[in-house]
């Protein structure tokens, strides 16, 4: 459920940053996107932005950007780093400004009108992106700089930027014949629309097509007081006053699966969840998936790759789909036996209760909770009172302070796009400004599911000065209910630390060039985030932030011990359901053109049979709601979380082995090589500069109890 959109990539491969000359003479000056924001820290002017501003801003942004590109192409001087690469790197300011706001809000706070705008601008930006990447004269100039890069007196970073841009163009088809390029344009345009369609169908399935309405109080048996109150509040918003409503949003769904004693209702809500987009209704995603897969395979073939996975992974640390497959299967084989033995124990519990049935997928959470209680005597709900949102937030701020010396001051004078959003100024240890952090915590109808980190401005460099990052974290946490504050689950707690790790990456990023600042391979991206999760559960850290929301009492040692002891709990399941989804992702994207999938459900079943997935587990994401890969930028890349888990476990082990989880020297190296300068070289090179050796898989196996 953890998704990252940082750094935002507005237009295909091109991270577009600002240009220096920002002319506004002939433009509608009331459009807030046309000039630098006149706000504290230059955050977006949310109080002035209206839906009517988006389309004109995209159109004007594209026009200006095209002019800048034309100026580069028409330059009479011979191409060099300054007049071609740097000019390109700094172009497109208005387009970048509006893209940041629009795409972020379309994820976090959308509505019918925004979705209509997204459909309208998608073909415009897709065409614009192609007009750039398939511009032969622009490519000619970039190629000229590339061919001469070693003799031009450039520094290492400049050479890297030149190489990155050259490869981007190559990967977008700049070297192809015109006819092939035209085919690519059509495919890119179609794919962009299909991805929007996929997301919209999904949102409609979650928000409009399913709710579990309970009017018999007995059917609430097993659920906590907090979950019941929340369900009653949801009912008020769905026109079911006086009843209880559960939805497919995680804070509603998961507790129901974990605790509701009524097995039939558990099945009903879980079916609602895993059949999303697969109901043969207007929001069905099966044909959308088929079309996306077919077009991606075709695209890869045109670009000279065997399949789309090979095309994507070529840019990653893993290098080839074969390497990824082997990595996943090795871990799957380690995890499956653990899962099977957990299943045997859960079945025993069900049998002892007199349940005359074999466990099914909708029973897993429920009996896993019972097994957790039996084995570790830990009830998740015992933890919640100690995990008040504000306490968890302050805890992660303290961890960052101890590691890096930075501080977080709440600011209340910044424009925000919805109520309940918090903003913080982040400062270096010496008090100097580092950046701004937005935190948007709770579910609402216009917010996509899950959690992610993104930004409204990337760290960069302009006119000889550093540009400060504006980072945003969006989550769907348990909201306050009745007179209770927001009390998080353990999963939500680690999710907040996770997204905060992405946030630190965004805040610490340094670099003079947009193309490389903060730019890391997909299978490195989750290292900065996942590594932060390790601190959340350390006893020393828990004692810093886990305080009872009513009494202020520090979490008792007995609860900490239970949490520590149960850290291996259900890790087999977590690993297996995750790898199942990763394999499904790879299988789709290893299809070679013409990739015709006849039956999505049959394809999925075959992929799972091949690896030996047991029927009591379904993949973490099924095809028709696998947003990461069909509208979230993780195609052929869902594996990256686990790849990065090897790195994050190894990195944290480095701290642990030093005897100080806040070891300032190790933290300084991590900040420098893995967060600030990670765009300077290949991911593994940067990692080894930090670690001083190759990463080992052992710390991960140990952490998950799989060795
Ligand atoms: Zn993440």
pLDDT tens per residue, range 168-196: 999 999 999 999 999 999 999 999 999 99
Q: What is residue 214's three-state secondary structure?
A: strand
Helix, strand or coil for residue 518? coil
Average pLDDT, the chain: 92
pLDDT in tens, 339-369: 999 999 999 999 999 989 999 999 999 999 9
CA distance 359 to 87: 61
Residue 507 Cα to ligand 1 middle (Å)? 15
Cα distance between residue 411 and residue 432, in whole Å: 16
Assigned token pair, 410: 């709440």
pLDDT at 381: 86
Active-site residue, selected from the candidate residues 200, 205, 298, 499:
499
The Å distance, Cα 48 to ligand 1 centre, comes to: 31
User: Distance between CA atoms of 453 and 503, rounded to whole angstroms?
Assistant: 6
Instruction: Tell me how far the alpha carbon of residue 490 lies from the centroid of ligand 1, in angstroms.
Output: 17
pLDDT tens by residue, 447-464: 988 899 999 999 999 888
Question: Angle at CA 674, nearest 5°, toward 477 and 161?
Answer: 110
**CA pair distance 380, 496, nearest whole angstrom:** 17
Q: How far is the CA of 571 from the centre of ligand 1 (A)?
A: 18
Q: Is the dihedral of CA 45, 517, 86, 55 positive or negative?
A: negative
Which distant-in-sequence residues (6+ apart) come within 8 Å of 678 by Cβ?
Answer: 505, 518, 519, 520, 524, 686
Q: Is 432 helix (H, G, I), strand (E, B) or coil?
A: coil
> Is the model's pLDDT at 18 over the cut of 50?
no
Q: Which residues contact 256 (CB under 8 A, 6 or more apart)?
A: 212, 223, 227, 246, 265, 266, 269
Distance CA 235, CA 252 (A): 12
As a whole number, mean pLDDT of residues 358-382 equals 91
Predicted TM-score (pTM) of the model is 0.84
Rounded Cα gap, residues 300 and 516, in angstroms: 24
Q: Would you say residue 57 has pLDDT above 90?
A: yes
Quote the ligand 1 centre to 529 CA distance (angstroms). 6
Over residues 101-109, mean pLDDT: 94
CA of 21 to the centre of ligand 1 (A): 35
Q: Which residues surround ligand 1, an ion (CB under 5 A)?
A: 2, 4, 526, 529
Q: In the predicted model, is pLDDT for residue 24 greater than 60?
A: no
Closest Cα to residue 625, out of 102, 101, 106, 209?
A: 209
CA distance 491 to 607: 29
Coil, strand, or helix at residue 165? helix
Closest by CA position to 593, among listed 302, 281, 182, 267:
302
- Ligand 1 centroid to residue 460 C-alpha, Å: 22
How sure is the predictor about 13, in pLDDT bands with cuts at 50, 70 and 90?
very low
Looking up tokens 């010496």, which residue turns up?
430
pLDDT of residue 450: 86
Q: Would you say residue 250 has pLDDT above 90? A: no
Q: State the first-to-last Cα distance of the chain, in angstroms, to the nearest integer.
A: 25
The answer to whether the beta carbons of residues 373 and 379 sit under 8 Å apart is yes
- Flag whether pLDDT at 410 surpasses 80: yes
pLDDT digits over 635-665, tens only?
999 999 999 999 999 999 999 999 999 999 9
SS3 of residue 321 by DSSP: helix
Mean pLDDT over 406-428 rounds to 96
pLDDT at 21: 34
Phi-psi region of 554 (alpha: psi -120 to 50; beta: other; left: phi over 0): beta
The alpha carbon of 4 and the centre of ligand 1 are apart by a number of angstroms equal to 5
Residue 693 and residue 673: Cα distance in Å, rounded?
14
User: pLDDT digit string (tens) for 584-639?
Assistant: 999 999 999 999 999 999 999 999 999 999 999 999 999 999 999 999 889 999 99
Cα 348 to ligand 1 centroid, rounded to whole Å: 36
Which sign, positive or negative, has the C-alpha torsion 424, 428, 430, 433?
negative
DSSP 419: T
Which residue, 488, 305, 458, 284, is CA-closest to 383? 488
Peptide bond into 256 cis (omega under 30): no
Condensed to tens digits (0 to 9), the pLDDT of residues 189-243 reads 999 999 999 999 998 988 778 999 999 999 999 999 989 999 999 999 999 999 9
Residue whose structure tokens are 């999925």:
604
499 among known catalytic residues: yes
**Predicted pLDDT at 251:** 87
Could you tell me the distance, in angstroms and rounded to a whole number, from the CA of residue 35 to the centre of ligand 1?
Answer: 32
Whole-number pLDDT of residue 29: 72
Question: Is pLDDT at 14 greater than 70 in this prediction?
Answer: no
- Residue pair 527/504 in contact (Cβ under 8 Å)? The answer is no
pLDDT at position 282 over 80: yes
Residue 27: the pLDDT is 58
Q: Is 504 buried (19+), middle (13-18) or exposed (0-12) by CB count in 10 A?
A: buried
Share above pLDDT 90 across residues of the chain, in percent, rounded to a whole number: 85
């Amino acid at each position: 459920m953890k998704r990252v959109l940082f750094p935002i990539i507005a237009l295909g491969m091109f991270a577009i940053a600002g240009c220096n000359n920002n002319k506004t003479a002939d433009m509608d000056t009331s459009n807030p996107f046309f000039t630098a924001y006149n706000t504290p820290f230059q955050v977006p002017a949310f109080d002035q932005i209206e839906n009517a501003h988006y389309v004109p801003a995209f159109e004007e942004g594209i026009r200006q950007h095209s002019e800048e590109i034309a100026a580069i192409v028409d330059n009479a001087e011979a191409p060099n780093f300054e007049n071609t690469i740097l000019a390109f790197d700094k172009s497109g300011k208005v387009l970048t400004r509006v893209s940041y706001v629009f795409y972020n809000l379309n994820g976090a706070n959308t509505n019918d009108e925004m979705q209509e705008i997204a459909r309208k601008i998608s073909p415009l930006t897709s065409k614009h992106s192609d007009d750039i990447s398939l511009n032969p004269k622009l490519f000619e100039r970039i190629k000229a700089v590339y061919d001469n890069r070693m003799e031009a007196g450039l520094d290492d970073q400049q050479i890297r930027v030149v190489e990155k841009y050259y490869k981007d163009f190559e990967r977008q088809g700049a070297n192809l014949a015109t006819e092939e390029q035209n085919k690519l344009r059509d495919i890119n345009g179609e794919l962009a629309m299909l991805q929007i369609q996929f997301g919209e169908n999904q949102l409609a399935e979650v928000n409009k097509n399913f709710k579990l309405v309970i009017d018999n109080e007995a059917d609430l048996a097993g659920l906590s007081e907090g979950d019941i109150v929340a369900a009653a509040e949801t009912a008020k918003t769905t026109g079911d006053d006086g009843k209880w409503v559960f939805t497919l949003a995680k804070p509603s769904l998961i507790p129901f699966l974990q605790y509701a004693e009524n097995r039939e209702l558990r099945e009903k809500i879980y079916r609602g969840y895993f059949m999303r987009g697969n109901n043969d209704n207007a929001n069905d995603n099966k044909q959308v998936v088929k079309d996306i897969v077919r077009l991606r395979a075709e695209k890869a073939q045109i670009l000279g790759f065997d399949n789309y996975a090979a095309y994507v992974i070529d840019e990653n640390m893993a290098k080839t789909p074969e390497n990824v497959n082997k990595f996943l299967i090795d871990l799957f084989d380690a995890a499956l036996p653990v899962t099977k033995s957990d299943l045997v124990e859960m079945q025993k519990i069900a049998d002892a209760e007199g349940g005359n049935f074999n466990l099914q997928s909708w029973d897993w959470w429920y009996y896993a909770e019972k097994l957790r209680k039996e084995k570790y005597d830990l009830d998740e709900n015992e933890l919640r009172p100690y995990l008040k949102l504000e306490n968890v937030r302050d805890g992660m701020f303290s961890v960052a302070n101890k590691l890096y010396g930075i501080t977080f001051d709440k600011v209340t004078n910044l424009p925000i796009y919805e109520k309940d959003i918090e903003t913080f100024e982040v400062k270096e240890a010496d008090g100097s400004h580092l950046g701004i952090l937005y935190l948007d915590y709770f579910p609402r109808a216009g917010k996509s599911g899950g959690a992610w980190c993104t930004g409204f401005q990337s760290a960069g460099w302009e006119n000889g000065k550093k540009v400060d990052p504006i980072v945003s974290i969006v989550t769907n946490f348990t909201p306050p209910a009745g007179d209770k504050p927001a009390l998080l689950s353990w999963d939500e707690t680690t999710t907040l630390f996770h997204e905060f790790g992405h946030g630190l990456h965004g805040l610490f990023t340094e670099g003079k060039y947009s193309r490389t600042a903060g730019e890391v391979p997909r299978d490195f991206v989750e290292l900065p985030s996942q590594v932060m999760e390790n601190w959340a559960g350390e006893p020393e850290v828990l004692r810093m932030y886990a305080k009872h929301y009513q009494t202020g009492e520090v979490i008792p040692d007995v609860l900490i011990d239970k949490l520590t002891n149960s850290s291996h709990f259900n890790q087999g399941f977590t690993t297996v359901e995750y790898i199942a989804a990763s394999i499904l992702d790879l299988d789709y994207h290893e299809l070679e053109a013409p990739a015709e999938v006849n039956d999505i459900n049959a394809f999925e079943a075959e992929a799972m049979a091949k690896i030996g997935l047991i029927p009591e587990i379904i993949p973490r994401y099924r095809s028709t709601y696998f947003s990461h890969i069909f509208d979230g930028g993780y195609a052929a890349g869902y594996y990256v979380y686990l790849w990065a888990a090897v790195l994050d476990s190894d990195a944290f082990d480095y701290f642990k082995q030093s005897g100080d989880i806040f070891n300032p020297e190790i933290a300084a190296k991590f900040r420098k090589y893995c967060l600030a300068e990670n765009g300077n070289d290949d991911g593994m090179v940067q990692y080894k500069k930090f670690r001083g050796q190759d990463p080992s898989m052992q710390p991960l196996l140990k952490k998950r109890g799989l060795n």
